[in-house]
Structure 1
Amino acid sequence: MSMKKSSISGWRDVFAFTLTQTLKNKAYRISFFIMALIAVVSMPLIQFLTKGGEANSAETSPVAKVYVQNETSLPELDFSLLKQTDTFKDTVFTNLTEDYDTVTQRIEKSERDSVILTIKEQDNSFVLAFAKASKGPVKDGSIALLGEKMTDTFHSLRLTAGGVTKEQNELIGAKVNTKTVKLDAQGNPVLETDKAISMNEYWFIYGILFFLMMVNIMASSHVASSVVMEKSSRIVEYLLISVKPLALMVGKILAMLCAVLIQIISLMVLVFVSNKVSASMSSGSKAGIMNQYIPDNIFQNLNIGNILLCLILIGLGMIFYAVLAGMAGATVSKMEELNEGMTLLTIATLVGVYIGIGAANVLMGSGSNAYVIFAFLFPLSSPFILPGAILIGKADFLIAAGAIILQIILNILMFSFVASIYETLILHNGNRIRLKDLFKLNRGGMKA
C-alpha cells in the first residue's frame, strides 16, 4: 500500500480524543453496567436453576418417614437397606396401612417431613410417584435424590423377587462391544480415525462464533454511528482542518475498537468471577458452570502461541469489519439513513457467520474437509470460526498463518480503497452513496 506518511499523521490525537469521549458517554456507561450485572449473576443463576435445587448426597435427608403404598403384584417391598447409607440413616421406611387421604392430610398439616411413595404397574412398566407437603423442610431436590436411590433399590428388589441374582443381573446388563474392521483388496485392515468433533466441542465453537459476532456487530455499530454523528453535527469539518481524513478514520476505528474491547475483557473477567461464585454453590471438581460444559481438551491446546494466533485473527477481522462500518457510515448523512447504509456490512457479517456455522456442522458430522479448510481461510469467516477450531485442536499453525496472511492482504486492499474515497465521503452531505458509486469514486469518475 502506497501512502504518504502525512496521510495518517495525527491519528493518535483522534484516537485519544475519541476514546476519552466514548468512555465518558452516559449511554456507554449504562450499557456496560447492565451487561456487567448480567455477567455477574448469570453463572450463579444458571447453577441455581439447573443444579441449585439438588440435594447434596453427603448430607442427611430431611425426609423423616416414607410411607410405601405398593399397588403392584410384587410381594412386600423392604426399603430398609437404604438406612445403611449416611443420607437416609434417620429415615423410616414403612408400608402404608392407613387410608391414603388421611395420611396426605396429616402430612400437609403436621407431618411435613414425611412423604408417600406410590408404586404402580402401568403400560408394562413400573411408576414410582411421590407426594409431599406443599410447604415444609422437604424440597424438590430432596425428593429427586430420594427417588433416585429408591428407584435403584426397587430395581434390585424386583430382580430378587423374580429369582434373579446380582451376578446374573450384572451379566444381563454387561456392556457388549463390537468392532467393524475394513479390509483392503489384499485383506489388510484399513485404519480409520474419527475426525469429527463432539457435541460439547461443537457448542464451544458455536459459542465462540456467536460471541465474536456480537462483539463485531457492537464495535461496527459504534464506529458507523460515530462517523454519522460527526458528519451530521459538522464536527468533522473542523477536525479536517488539522487532521487528514485517513488519520481521522484510523484513529476513530482504533478508539472504538478499544472501547469495545475494554467492555468485552471486563465482562470476560466478571464471567470468570461469576463462575467461581457458582462453583462455591455446589461441590465436586466440576462444580462451576464453565467447568461442566467446556470440553476438557480445550485446556490441552490453551498455550501462548494459540492465544496469540486467536487474538491476531480476531483483531484483524474486527479491523476489517470496522473499516467497512466506517465507510458505510460515511456514505450517509443522517442517523435515520444508517440502517440502510449498513446493508453491505450486514451482508458481509452474515456471510462470514453462516459459512462458519456450516463449517462447525461439517466438523461435527464428518470432520475436516475442503469446505472446512475454505471456511478457515476465507477472510470473512475465519475471524469467527478459526479461533474456536484452534482451541480444540482442529486447525494447525499453517492454516492459522494462511488465514492471517489473507486477512492482512484484505485489510491492505480495504485501506487502499477507502483511502482513495474517504475524504470525498466524509464531506458528502445528501443522498446515500451506493456501492456502485463507491467504485466510480475510486476510479475518479464521479464527484460526490
Structure 2
Amino acid sequence: MFMKKSNVTGWKDVFTFTLTQTLKSKAFIVSFVLFIVLASISMPVLSMIMNKDTKVEDGTNPIQKVYINDNVAWSNGGFLPTLSQENLKHIKFEALTEDYDTVVNRIEQEENTSVIVNIVETETTFQLDSIKASTGDVKESNVQTLSGALLEAFDAYRINQLGITSEQLAMIQANVSTSVTLADRNGNAVITEDTSISNSQYWFIYGILFLVMMVNIMASSQIASSIVSEKSSKVLEYLLTSVKPLAIMIGKILAMLTAVILQFAATIVCVLISNTVTTKVFSSTGENMISKYLPSGIFDNINPLNIILCLAVVILGMIFYATLAGLAGATASRIEEASESLMLFTFSNLIGAYIGMGAAGVLMASGTNGFVTFALLFPLSSPFLLPGAMFVGKVSVGLSILSIVLLVIFMILLFKFVAKVYETLILHSGNRIGLKELVKISKNV
C-alpha cells in the first residue's frame, strides 16, 4: 500500500461535514438556483431565437410592391411574367426609374410594404439581393420567399433565352460522380477508411469537453479555496485532533466534487425537462430541440459499456484534478495566495483541455492519427476528449480501458506524492511553498 489506512481514517466524517456545510452555504444555494433557472428557460429561449423570422407563411405575402433594379442587359425584367406562385400574384412589379436612394428612403419611411430587388451580373454568376424596411409587416421570411420565386423565374427565363431544350437541360444538370482509388505496386486497390468526423460531431465533442472543464474548474477552485481558508481556522484545528491531514483532503475533495456534480446533474435534468415541455408547446413538427442539433446517429454508440467507461474516465479525471487542486491549495497559508498557488492546477487543466481541443480539430480535419491516440491516452487530456470521441464512435473499448489504466497509474503516483507531503503542508503557516520545495519535502519524508 502506498499510504497507511490510519492516514485516511475519518475521511467519511470530513466528507459528510464538508458536503453538509457546502450545500447549506449561501453561495452554493444562489448559484444552484441560478443554474436551475437558466436551464429551465434555455430551451424556450433557444426555440424563439431559432424560429425567429423562419415561420412558414400561410396566405398572402405582405409585400405589395417590388421595384426591380435589373442591371442584366438581356433580361430587363422579362422573367417576371413567368412567376407562378399564387401568394405572389397580388404584388405589383415596377422597374426602378427613380433615384435609388430616394426610393430606399421612401420605403423606410412610408412604403414599408415595398421592396427593392437588385439583379447584377458578375463574371461568373448572377446576384440578387433585396432591400426592405427595417420595421413593418414585411419579415425576412417574406423576402426570402419572394427571392426564391424570382430566382426560379429568372433561371427559367435565362434557359429559355439560350434556346436550351428540356432534354439538353437534363443532360447539363445530370449528376457526375467521381472516385479515386489508390493502388499498390501490383495494381491492387488500397482501401483507406475515412475516420474523420463531421462539423456537428466536432461541436458535440467540444460541448462535452467544455462541460467537463467547467465542472473541473468549479470543483477544484472550491476545494483549494476551502483548504486555504480553513488552514488557520478553528475548524481545521478541531478536525486535526481526531483526523489525519490526508483524510481531511480526501473528504474535502470528494465532498466538493459531489456538490458540483449534483449541481450540474440537476441542471442537465432541468434542461431535459425544459426540452420536453418546449417540444410539446412550441414545436409544430413535434421534433425536440436537442435532437435537432445533435449529430445524426449520435445515440447509436451509446450503450451500457460505453457509458460506464466514459463515467469512469470522467470521474477518475475529476478526482485527479481535484487532488492536484487540493495539493495546490495546501501550499498557501493565506486566501490572498490562493490564486497564485492554483497556477500549477490551472496550467495542467489548460494543457489537458487544449490538447483535447486540438485532437478534436485533427479528428475533423484528417481523422484518427498518432496525435489523437496520444490525446485519448494522456491522463491530462483523456477526461476531456474520450467521452465525446467515444459517443461519436471514434474510440474502441480496448483504447478506453488502456486510457483508464494509465489514468489510475497517474493517480496512484500523485497520491503517493500527496501522502508524503500533505501533513507537512496542512500544518505549514508562512510563505507559499513552491514546486521545488514540495519535491524536497517528499524526499525528506
TM-score, normalized by length of structure 2? 0.89
Give the corresponding residue for 2:390: 390
| Whole-Å separation in 2 of the counterparts to 1:6 and 1:186 | 69
Query: How far apart are 1:414 and its partner, in Å?
Result: 1.9
Structure 1 counterpart of 2:195: 195
Whole-angstrom CA distance in 1 between matches of 2:153 and 2:33: 51
Deviations 1:47-85 (A, max 9, x none): 44444222315x234425343526343165455665545
Counterpart among 73, 89, 92 of residue 90 in structure 2? 92
8 A contact 2:379–2:407 mirrored in 1: yes
> Aligned in 2, Cα 1:134/1:192: closer, same or farther, shift over 3 Å?
closer
> Shift of the alpha carbon at 1:416?
2.5
Cα shift at 1:232: 3.3
Amino acid of the structure 2 residue aligned with 1:175? N
In structure 2, do the counterparts of structure 1 residues 142 and 324 end up closer, same or farther at CA, with 3 Å as the change threshold? same
Contact 2:65–2:113 (CA<8 Å) still a contact in 1? no
1:25-424 pair list within 5 angstroms: 25-56=25-56, 59-63=58-62, 65-69=64-68, 71=70, 72-73=72-73, 74=75, 76-77=77-78, 79=80, 83-84=84-85, 88=87, 91-96=89-94, 112-121=112-121, 125-276=125-276, 279=279, 281-284=282-285, 288=289, 290-424=290-424
CA distance in 2: counterparts of 1:321 and 1:400, whole angstroms: 19
| C-alpha spacing 1:49/1:149, structure 2 compared with 1 (3 Å) | farther
CA drift of 1:8 comes to 2.3
For residues 399-447 of structure 1, what are the alpha-carbon distances to aligned partners after superposition, in whole Å with 9 as ceiling and x for unaligned? Answer: 11111112122222222221222222111111111122222222335xx
Query: Closer, same or farther in 2 for the Cα pair 1:129/1:370, shift >3 Å?
Result: closer
Is the Cα–Cα contact under 8 Å of residues 329 and 341 in structure 1 kept in the other structure?
A: yes
- Aligned residue identity for 1:156: A
What's the CA shift for 1:182? 1.7
* 8 A Cα contact 1:236 1:426, kept in partner: no
- Alignment size in residue pairs: 440
Q: Give me the whole-angstrom Cα distance separating, in 1, the residues matched to 2:390 and 2:399.
A: 9
Seen in structure 2, the aligned counterparts of structure 1 residues 64 and 231 have a Cα distance that, compared at 3 Å, is same
Aligned to 2:21: 21
Deviations 1:10-30 (A, max 9, x none): 222211211111112112222
Matches of 1:297 and 1:147, distance apart in 2: 34
Are residues 137 and 379 of structure 1, via their aligned partners in 2, closer, same or farther at CA, if it must alter by over 3 Å? same
Q: Which stretch of the first structure deviates more once superposed, 234-243 or 248-257?
A: 234-243
CA contact (8 A) 2:333 2:432 kept: yes
Q: What TM-score results when the alignment is normalised by the length of structure 1?
A: 0.88
What CA deviation, in whole Å up to 9, does each residue of 1:344-403 have, x standing for no partner? 212221221222223223222322222222221111111111111111111111111111
In structure 1, the gaps of 5 or more residues are: none
Tell me, in whole angstroms, the C-alpha distance in 2 between the residues paired with 1:259 and 1:423: 25
Question: The residue matched to 2:301 in structure 1 has which SS?
Answer: coil
Letter paired with 1:10: G
Q: CA RMSD in A?
A: 2.8
The residue type equivalent to 2:68 in the other structure is Q
Give the 3 Å change call, closer, same or farther, for CA 118–364 of structure 1 in structure 2. closer
Whole-Å Cα distance in 1 between the matches of residues 401 and 121 of structure 2? 64
CA 1:382–1:274: 2 relative to 1, 3 Å: same
Q: CA deviation at 1:277?
A: 5.7
Conservation of the 8 A alpha-carbon contact between 2:63 and 2:138: no
- Cα pair 2:68 2:77 within 8 Å, conserved: no
Change (3 A) 1:79 1:41: farther
Q: C-alpha displacement at 1:170, in angstroms?
A: 3.5
User: Quick one: structure 1 residues 96 and 17, their matched pair in 2 at CA, closer, same or farther if it must change by over 3 Å?
Assistant: same
Q: Which moved more, 1:258-267 or 1:178-187?
A: 178-187
* Amino acid across the alignment from 2:91: F
For residue 338 of structure 1, what is the amino acid of its counterpart?
Answer: A
**Gap change, CA 1:104 and 1:180, over 3 Å in 2:** closer
CA 1:56–1:253: 2 relative to 1, 3 Å? same
**Alpha-carbon offset, residue 332 of structure 1:** 0.5
Pair 1:166–1:49, CA change in 2 (3 A): farther
Shift of 1:143: 1.6
Match of 1:436 in 2: 436
Q: Deviations over 1:217-250 (max 9, x none)?
A: 1111011011111113342111111222222111
CA spacing shift, 1:61–1:316, aligned 2, 3 Å = farther
Matches of 1:79 and 1:98 in 2, distance apart? Answer: 14
For residue 95 of structure 1, give the secondary structure of its aligned residue in structure 2: strand
**What amino acid is the match of 1:263?**
Q
Which amino acid in structure 2 is aligned with residue 63 of structure 1?
A: P
Shift of 1:334: 0.6
Q: How far apart are 1:260 and its partner, in Å?
A: 0.5
Deviation at 1:175, TM superposition (A): 2.5
Distance in 2 separating the partners of 1:401 and 1:438: 32
1:18–1:63 distance in 2 versus 1, CA, 3 Å: same
Matched residue of 1:69: which SS? strand
Identical-residue share of aligned pairs (%): 47
Contact 2:53 2:141 in 1 (8 A): yes
Q: Distance in 1 between matches of 2:312 and 2:31?
A: 27
User: Is the contact between residue 275 and residue 288 of structure 2 (CA under 8 Å) also seen in structure 1?
Assistant: no
1:271-310: CA deviations, max 9, x gaps?
Answer: 334444665545557562x334321132110112111111
Q: Deviations over 1:326-356 (max 9, x none)?
A: 1111110111101111122122212212222
Q: State the SS of the aligned residue for 2:137.
A: coil
Q: Say which SS state the counterpart of residue 91 (structure 2) adopts.
A: strand
